[in-house]
Amino acid sequence: MTALAVALSLVLSQGYAPQRQGLDPLEAEKEARVMRLGKQLRCAVCQGVSIADSPASMARAQLDKVRELVAEGKSDEQINAYFIERYGEWVLLEPTKGGLNAVLWVGPLALLGVGLLVIVLQSRRRPAALVTAPAEAAPAPSPDDALLAQVRADLEK
């Protein structure tokens, strides 16, 4: 469905790219690796679609490059590095967990921790405040209190 939507948008927006003859698929195991790597790389002309899932001509060209690099015996890291060198980390559908990106991964957990800390601190402080506040705010004894005490004593008799 996504592929159809992408294909339609490409056709309607900028014309039809003739289906060229891409590189032949590699042997099954290597081709599976090509598709796995392709699913991790972002298509440059699509909306959040990988080059393995996109029918766009540019994505086909990029997937062929992955195929070529796999055929040359390059490792996954070398292939990712090739694309990052040319397209930046933007090309990775899932950002790396190192460097500044660590904030994205650790940030939510850190915020959760801070939230819990605030709750714990507040819950520790509140009972003390509740105990002390009425005592501090207790009104000075008035002449009526003596009268009330007398009434209570009379009722108990």
Partner 1 sequence: MTRVLGPVIALSVIGLLVFVLAKGFGSDPHAVPFMLSGKKATNFKIKRLDTDEDVTLEQFKGQPVVINFWATWCGPCKMEHPVLEDAWRRYERQVVFLGIVFEDTEANTKRFLAENGHTFPQLFDPKSTVPVDYGVSGVPETYFITRDGVIKGKVAAPFSDPRQLDPLIGGILQ
Contacts to partner 1 by CB under 8 A: 14-18, 20-21, 23, 44-45, 47, 57-58, 60-62, 64-65, 68, 84-88, 90, 107, 111, 114, 117-118, 121, 125
C-beta of residue 43 within 8 angstroms of C-beta of residue 50: yes
Q: How far is the CB of 77 from partner 1 (least distance, A)?
A: 17
Residue corresponding to tokens 């009379």: 154
Report in angstroms how near the CB of residue 154 gets to partner 1 at its nearest. 49
Shortest distance (Å) from residue 27 CB to partner 1: 19
Using the minimum distance from each CB to partner 1, give the nearer residue, 36 or 125.
125
The smaller minimum CB distance to partner 1, of residues 133 and 151, is found at 133
Contact 44, 58 (CB under 8 A): yes
* Phi, psi of 72, rounded to the nearest 5 degrees: -75, -5
CA angle 119/110/117 to nearest 5° reads 20
